[in-house]
Amino acid sequence: MKNAKILVVDDEENIRLLFKEELEEEGFDVDLASNGLEALDKLKKGRFDLVVLDIKMPGMDGIQALNEIKNANKDQPVVLCSAYGEFKQDLSSWVSDGYVVKSADTRELKQTIKNILGL
Amino acid sequence: MNPVDLLGKIIEISHSNIELSSRITSILNIISRDMNAEEAIIYTFDKDRRLSCRYANQKSVLFKILNQYRCHVGEGVVGSVAQKRSPLFFTKRDIPPRFGCLFYPDLDGRIENYKLFAFLPLADDSYLYGVLALCAVSRDTLHDADKVFLSILSREVGGILRSYELILSSKKRISELATLTELGKMLTSNAEPRELLKNIALVIAKSLNATFVTIMLGYPFLKLDAQRFTYGIIEPSVQDHVEELEGAATRLLRAVSIKDCAPDEYEDSFKYTLFSAPIASKNRVLGTLTICAEKTGQSYALGEDGQYLISTIANYISSGLENTLLNTRLRDAVRELNDAQKRLIEQEKFRSLGEMTASIAHEIKNPLVIIGGFTKRLARQVDIDRTENKYIRIILNEVTRLESILNEVLNYVKETPLVAETCNINDYLDEILYLLTSDSSWEEIEISRSYNQGLSLVACDSQQLKQVLINIFINAHEAMHGRGTITIQTKQAAYENGSFVAISISDTGGGIDPAIIDNIFNPFFTTKERGTGLGLAISNKIIMNHKGHIDVENVAGKGVTFIIYLPVKNHTTKEELL
């Protein structure tokens, strides 16, 4: 089976690197974007099975990016991943498919992704 | 002394500065000596408009006997002269038969030696002030010139008596005014109601020379703990009358005196005059003012017309009380406002501190995830039995610890909304205790329960309340190093007009050092080696969000008791529940 393609969006380079290595170890193909706009650009050009989206980013934040992504393709799976224990999201916006608190322990993130992809 | 000189002397005395009763005595001395009359006595009216001996010459013998008797106008020789306002002169031989006896039947033996009598009204054109009586042993005739002279003299003495009355009534007026001025000053002051009422009683008593003054507040006024404010001592014999008068004044909404309520006692043996007036505001009776003075005492103001004065004073007091009531309300309102402002500032401080903490926590979180994440990766590449792996484990443990601290901080800072449900605290406590004590570390802890079985229900977020209770239980467990007694009590409690359920949890862990007791609810304050210091701060915040509060009773060396107060769920009718 072809590897699932995952786009990791985070403004911290080392977080991106960590997630990339951790997810590749699980057999995913991982591409990276450092902000919302770059992510939208990559989604326009290619197909991804899932997007991991940080919330607090300069420029376009994760919530805005989520809305843009879902407006373009409401079936695109997105997992929000943030250092915050909570975030504010107004009720009219799109809802993510999963939400994970950012942690050094990446097991929850991996499990959430697998659940959404039905793996 | 010739009549002109005599009259001159008398006028001189009457205009002198010496005390009035001494002036009259001096005049009577002169009349007695010059008229050759052994007795020169003046009758005046007492409070009941009866004639009684008031003044006499120094050598008078009869005065001491006669002043035991009083007579009405028209009664006896003295009364007759007063009634007709014309003088009577006669010798012992020609005492007019209509009088039968001269003064009183049993006195006739004492006046056998007297040969000549003269009785003159002391009056001016409009008013009668009394009667002058002269009795002589050493002479038995009176010339017409003497009679004319005595008539002039009696007018002069009448004048002196009149000025005496005027002075008395002015003194009375001055004393009234002084009382009212003092009261006015006091009532516009900002004294506490208790002090104010005590001082009012004192001022009235002092300035009116009263035996006692008592203010009774029948209306639940100003939240005062006492109802009666008294200056002086209420004699037991008067006590009943005081209550009777207070009742009458309240009922009739006007001033009353002992004369109205118990005229018989007032007439005879009763030595006091007693007045009571309602302290009313807009026809609502707040209480009564009662003043008591001795009848014979030097109380200028409490004469026959005392009702007028006491009503005025009572009106002063009621407006003063209204004023004080307003002041008290105002002060309360200002205090509440200040408290609210303080709370607001506190909250604001807390909120900005919270925002800052959240942002710092967030900034730390990313590097921590990176350190931890890569260290984990490193761990997987280093053989488990190598020394490097041991170091890596230490780093990972510390990262985990840092992460959990950050989570707690973020938990504390964020506002968690309450999910309220109706909760029976007794059952709830049992549930939590069951969960806790199933752990083996609780084996040596004795749990003593004392529940109020009729405890009211409370509305609370059970998840958050669980966090609070578990926190306190675990603190107790740690303070007792796993061995001791935890006593749990539930009861109803009232606090600042509210109805609360109180949960008290005591341990035997030696208590908290009194030096740090004030800090225990402060965030980040901890005595534990590994603690964030947020446990009690979060607990406090949760209980405050429930509109309750936490109290701490600390007995250093013994143990500590935490008391959680949660507001009782408002009474709901069955209909509302359905």
Q: Which residue has the higher pLDDT, B160 or B375?
A: B375
My answer on whether B400 and B546 are in the same domain is no
B415 DSSP assignment: P
Instruction: Answer whether A102 sits within 8 Å of B366, measured CB to CB.
Output: yes
Of B169, B184, B219, the residue at which a domain comes to its end is B169
Q: Flag whether residue B357 sits within 8 Å of chain A, measured between CB atoms.
A: no
Question: Between the CA atoms of B212, B217, B218 and B219, what dihedral angle is there, to the nearest 10 degrees?
Answer: 170
The 10s digit of each residue's pLDDT in B56-89 is 999 988 888 887 778 888 888 888 888 888 898 8
Instruction: Answer whether B365 sits within 8 Å of A83, measured CB to CB.
Output: yes
Q: Please tell me the least confidently modeled range out of B204-213, B294-303, B361-370.
A: B294-303
Residues in A closer than 8 angstroms to B366, CB to CB, are 12, 15, 83, 102
**Is residue A42 predicted with pLDDT exceeding 90?**
yes
What pLDDT, on a 0 to 100 scale, did the predictor assign at position B575?
36
Q: Flag whether residue A85 sits within 8 Å of chain B, measured between CB atoms.
A: yes
What pLDDT, on a 0 to 100 scale, did the predictor assign at position B303?
64
Option in A21, A85, A104 nearest B368 (CB) = A104
My answer on whether B176 and B219 are in the same domain is yes
The 10s digit of each residue's pLDDT in A51-74 is 999 988 888 888 889 989 998 998
Of B308, B326, B344, the residue at which a domain comes to its end is B326
Q: Which residues contact B494 (CB under 8 A, 6 or more apart)?
A: B500
Amino acid at B313: I
The 10s digit of each residue's pLDDT in A74-95 is 899 999 888 765 555 555 567 7
Strand ranges across the sheet with B484-495: B445-450, B484-495, B498-506, B559-567, B549-555
Q: How confident is the model at residue A48 (pLDDT cuts 50, 70, 90)?
A: very high
Option in A18, A56, A86 nearest B373 (CB) = A18
CB of A73 within 8 A of CB of A101?
A: no
Residues in A closer than 8 angstroms to B404, CB to CB, are none
Residue from B360, B369, B399, B400 whose CB has the most chain A CBs within 10 Å, to mutate: B369
Find, among A62, A58, A115, the residue nearest to A93 by Cα.
A62
Q: Which residues contact B430 (CB under 8 A, 6 or more apart)?
A: B449
Q: Flag whether residue A88 sits within 8 Å of chain B, measured between CB atoms.
A: no
Q: Which residues contact B251 (CB under 8 A, 6 or more apart)?
A: none
- Chain-wide mean pLDDT for chain B? 82
What pLDDT, on a 0 to 100 scale, did the predictor assign at position B574?
36
Q: Which two tokens stand for residue B546?
A: 């429930």
My answer on whether B548 and B430 are in the same domain is yes
Closest residue of chain B to A19, computed from CA coordinates: B373
Tokens 């004065």, residue located: B309
The helices-and-strands tally (H runs, E runs) of chain B is 15, 18
Residues in B closer than 8 angstroms to A103, CB to CB, are 369, 372, 403
C-alpha dist (Å) from residue B324 to B188, B221, B317, B331, B502? 9, 11, 10, 10, 36
Option in A12, A102, A104 nearest B376 (CB) = A104
My answer on whether B282 and B392 are in the same domain is no
Of B413, B444, B472, the residue at which a domain comes to its end is B413
Q: If you write DSSP's letter for every residue of B172-229 in order, what string do you get?
A: HHHHHHHHHHHHHHHHTS---HHHHHHHHHHHHHHHHT-SEEEEEE-S--TT-S-SEE
My answer on whether B300 and B392 are in the same domain is no
Q: How confident is the model at residue B503 (pLDDT cuts 50, 70, 90)?
A: very high
Q: Flag whether residue A96 sits within 8 Å of chain B, measured between CB atoms.
A: no
What pLDDT, on a 0 to 100 scale, did the predictor assign at position B577?
32
Residues in A closer than 8 angstroms to B368, CB to CB, are 104
**Is residue B531 predicted with pLDDT exceeding 70?**
no
Domains identified in chain B, total number = 4
Residue from A25, A55, A82, A84 whose CB has the most chain B CBs within 10 Å, to mutate: A84
Instruction: Answer whether A15 sits within 8 Å of B366, measured CB to CB.
Output: yes
What pLDDT, on a 0 to 100 scale, did the predictor assign at position B573?
37
- Predicted ipTM beyond 0.90: no
Q: What mean pLDDT is predicted for residues B201-213?
A: 85
Q: Flag whether residue A84 sits within 8 Å of chain B, measured between CB atoms.
A: yes
Domain containing residue B309: CATH number: 3.30.450.40
Instruction: Answer whether A85 sits within 8 Å of B369, measured CB to CB.
Output: no
Q: Flag whether residue B360 sits within 8 Å of chain A, measured between CB atoms.
A: no
Q: How far apart are CA B494 and CA B500, in angstroms?
A: 6
Q: How far apart are CA B462 and CA A65, in angstroms?
A: 37
Option in A18, A84, A103 nearest B403 (CB) = A103
Q: If you write DSSP's letter for every residue of B525-575 in order, what string do you get?
A: ---STT--S-HHHHHHHHHHHTT-EEEEEEETTTEEEEEEEEEBPPP--HH
My answer on whether B380 and B340 are in the same domain is yes
My answer on whether B183 and B208 are in the same domain is yes
Q: What mean pLDDT is predicted for residues B249-265?
A: 79
What pLDDT, on a 0 to 100 scale, did the predictor assign at position B572?
46
My answer on whether B353 and B470 are in the same domain is no
My answer on whether B338 and B209 are in the same domain is no
Residues of the domain holding B531: 421-576
Q: Please tell me the least confidently modeled range out of B179-188, B286-295, B407-416, B426-435.
A: B407-416
My answer on whether B532 and B445 are in the same domain is yes
Q: How far apart are CA B197 and CA B286, in angstroms?
A: 13
Residues in A closer than 8 angstroms to B373, CB to CB, are 15, 18, 22, 104, 106
Q: Flag whether residue B341 sits within 8 Å of chain A, measured between CB atoms.
A: no
Q: How far apart are CA B217 and CA B60, in angstroms?
A: 53
Beta-bridged to residue A82, according to DSSP, are A101
Domains identified in chain A, total number = 1
My answer on whether B150 and B285 are in the same domain is no
Option in B361, B403, B411 nearest A104 (CB) = B403
The 10s digit of each residue's pLDDT in B294-343 is 876 555 456 666 778 888 888 888 888 787 778 778 888 898 888 888 87
Q: How confident is the model at residue B100 (pLDDT cuts 50, 70, 90)?
A: low
- How many CB contacts within 8 angstroms connect chain A with chain B? 55
Domain containing residue B505: CATH number: 3.30.565.10
Option in A83, A84, A106 nearest B373 (CB) = A106
Domain containing residue A109: CATH number: 3.40.50.2300
Provide, rounded to the nearest whole percent, the portion of chain B with pLDDT above 90. Answer: 12
> Beta B128-136 vs B272-281: how paired, if at all?
unpaired
Residues of the domain holding A100: 5-117
My answer on whether B514 and B409 are in the same domain is no
Q: Which residue has the higher pLDDT, B149 or B105?
A: B149
Q: What mean pLDDT is predicted for residues B35-42?
A: 90
Residue from A22, A105, A107 whose CB has the most chain B CBs within 10 Å, to mutate: A105
